[in-house]
Amino acid sequence: MKKRRSSDSPPGMVVNEKPATLDDIARRLKLSAVTISKALRDHPDISSATKRIVLQTAEEMGYTPNIMARNLSARRTHTIGVVLPKIAHFFFSSIIDHIYNIAHDRKYEVILTVSQESAEREKKHVQTLLAMKVDGIIASLSQETRDYRVFETVGRRGVPLVFLDRVPDLPNISTVVVDDRGGAFKAVERAIALGHRRIGHFGGFVSTNIGRERKAGFLEAMNRYQVPLNESWILEGGFDEEYGYQAFMDLYRRKDLPEFVFAVTHPVAMGIYKAVKEVGMRIPDDVDLICFGNAQVQDFLSPPLSAVDQPTEVMSRSAMELLMEQIARRETYKPRSILVGTDIIVRGTCVQRRQPE
């Protein structure tokens, strides 16, 4: 059954011109499909004369390879899957940008999936990626994830896997994380050096590595410098703006505010900004703060928020390198963990106070 050609149809019209296949080209050239396949892939078997004519004909016929067929037959997809918890978030959109760039340089496709912080979605995404036979997976856990079985399946299937930033508590896996504890320590250490003693931590879930480690860094600094802890200022509630806002409001209503807060993420700090503004207080004079992680908009906040830097490019590159190594040497690869160092970037918060007490 032949479909009509599109000769007289307007460009946007649906016309179902059936795409040419290797066989079509082969027939036209009186060669075999195998030869066409090889020529198109620049296989050394084929003479350059043949290659030239094949390439040209393919172009003329508007040939598009069928990736499904190719992958099915080649048992290799040249595709990596990425599972991120969120995307409308500077850290992750920056990570994905870098992953895309690096992947394309290496001729890999990338399939991005977003769990929206839902463990269930995350699981489905991983299964889909497995079903798609991706060559490897880079994942950052949702904040809900407690059950790592899907990822164990990935390992059992021999599919290379690297965790980035939000990593599970599992043996023998490859991970790339920023030095959460060290960064947190530096941040809090600085606050203390500035003379703060009434310091709180709006922390993330300690079921996640980042929640745990950042809190550990906080405690380490408080301990080291013998700053007394106030339990009601040490919170655990997630990673988003809403939490930061509510937490601050709550303390405000109870008239039990710390004078300095170390926020577990940038969105949490944003929530604090919002709350502070709402109750008519000022940053950094009435309340000062610093957070872990950047945003695009630091420059436009008043005052600009100081933060522990998360070097997204280094992190992405490290993750891709671990993954590529794992893909290249499946059999002999031993899981590795990379810890990316970090520093604080001081902007308009976490600065010298006007009148130290």
- Which of 27, 28, 65, 168 lies at the binding interface for DNA (CB under 7 A)? 65
Residues in the chain: 357
Q: In whole angstroms, what is the distance from residue 346 CA to residue 299 CA?
A: 12
Which of positions 138-157 make contact with its own copies (CB under 8 A)?
A: 148, 152-153, 155-157
| Residue 124 interacting with DNA (CB under 7 A) | no
Measured from the CB atom, the residue of 3 and 254 that comes closer to DNA is 3
E strand or H helix that includes residue 338: strand 337-340
| Residue 280 interacting with its own copies (CB under 8 A) | no
| Residue 22 interacting with DNA (CB under 7 A) | yes
159: tokens are 């599919």
The strand pairing partners of 176, in sequence order, are: 164, 338
| Residue 47 interacting with DNA (CB under 7 A) | yes
Which of positions 338-357 make contact with DNA (CB under 7 A)?
A: none
- x/- mask, its own copies, residues 161-190, rule CB under 8 A, reads x--------xxxxx----------------
Taking CA atoms, 94 is separated from 84, 295, 307, in Å, by: 12, 10, 16
Helix (H, G, I), strand (E, B) or coil at 288: strand
Contact 350, 188 (CB under 8 A): no
**Contacts from 299-302 at CB under 8 Å and sequence distance 24+?**
301/273, 301/348, 302/348
| Residue 301 interacting with its own copies (CB under 8 A) | yes
| Residue 311 interacting with its own copies (CB under 8 A) | no
Q: In whole angstroms, what is the distance from residue 288 CA to residue 348 CA?
A: 10
- Which of 4, 72, 127, 253 lies at the binding interface for DNA (CB under 7 A)? 72
The answer for residues whose C-beta is within 8 angstroms of residue 88's C-beta and 6 or more apart is none
CA distance from start to end of the chain: 87
The conformation of residue 259, written as its DSSP 8-state character, comes to S
How, if at all, do strands 174-178 and 337-340 pair?
parallel
What residue type is assigned to position 191 of the chain? A
Measured from the CB atom, the residue of 332 and 352 that comes closer to its own copies is 332
- Which of 69, 170, 193, 297 lies at the binding interface for DNA (CB under 7 A)? 69
Measured from the CB atom, the residue of 96 and 222 that comes closer to its own copies is 96
Size of the site for its own copies (CB under 8 A): 71
Least distance between DNA and beta carbon 47 (Å)? 3
CA 197 from centroid of its chain's CA atoms = 35
87: tokens are 């995307």
Least distance between DNA and beta carbon 52 (Å)? 11
Residue 21 exposure: Cα atoms within 13 Å on the Cβ side? 9
Query: Which segment (1-9, 34-42, 194-202, 222-230) binds DNA by CB under 7 A?
Result: 34-42
Measured from the CB atom, the residue of 70 and 198 that comes closer to DNA is 70
Q: In whole angstroms, what is the distance from residue 113 CA to residue 111 CA?
A: 7
What residue type is assigned to position 21 of the chain? T
115: tokens are 């769990």
| Residue 38 interacting with DNA (CB under 7 A) | yes
- x/- mask, DNA, residues 73-112, rule CB under 7 A, reads xxxx------------------------------------
Which of positions 1-30 make contact with its own copies (CB under 8 A)?
A: 6, 10-17, 19
Measured from the CB atom, the residue of 12 and 280 that comes closer to its own copies is 12
| Residue 134 interacting with DNA (CB under 7 A) | no
| Residue 60 interacting with its own copies (CB under 8 A) | no
Query: Which segment (20-28, 162-170, 249-257, 315-323) binds DNA by CB under 7 A?
Result: 20-28
89: tokens are 């978030």
Rule CB under 7 A: which residues touch DNA? 21-23, 30-35, 37-38, 40-41, 44-50, 65-66, 69-70, 72-76
